[in-house]
Amino acid sequence: CGLSAMTTATPAATTTTTAAATPVAATFEDHSPSYKVLLEKLRTITHLERASAVLNYDRQIFMPQTDASAAQRGKQLAVLATISHEKSIDPEIGQLLEKSALDLEEWSSLLKGSNDYSIERQAAIHSASRLLELETKSYKKATCIPSSLAARKAELESSAYAAWVKARENDDFSSFAPSLKQCFDLAKEITTLQR
122/77 Cα distance (integer angstroms):
40
181/175 Cα distance (integer angstroms):
11
The per-residue pLDDT for 5 is 40
pTM of the model as a whole: 0.80
The three-point CA angle 76-79-85 to 5° equals: 135
What stretch of H or E contains 16?
A: strand 16-17
User: Quick check: 22 and 110 in contact, CB under 8 A?
Assistant: yes
pLDDT tens string, the chain, 195 residues long: the values are: 444 344 333 444 444 444 444 678 889 999 999 999 999 999 999 999 999 999 999 988 898 888 888 889 999 999 999 999 999 999 999 999 999 999 999 999 999 888 878 899 999 999 999 999 999 999 999 999 999 999 999 999 999 999 999 999 999 999 999 999 999 999 999 999 998
Q: What is the dihedral of CA 90, 94, 100, 103, to 10 degrees?
A: -130
What are the tens digits of pLDDT across the range 81-129?
999 999 999 999 999 999 999 999 999 999 988 887 889 999 999 999 9
Q: Residue 31 phi/psi, 5° resolution?
A: -80, -35
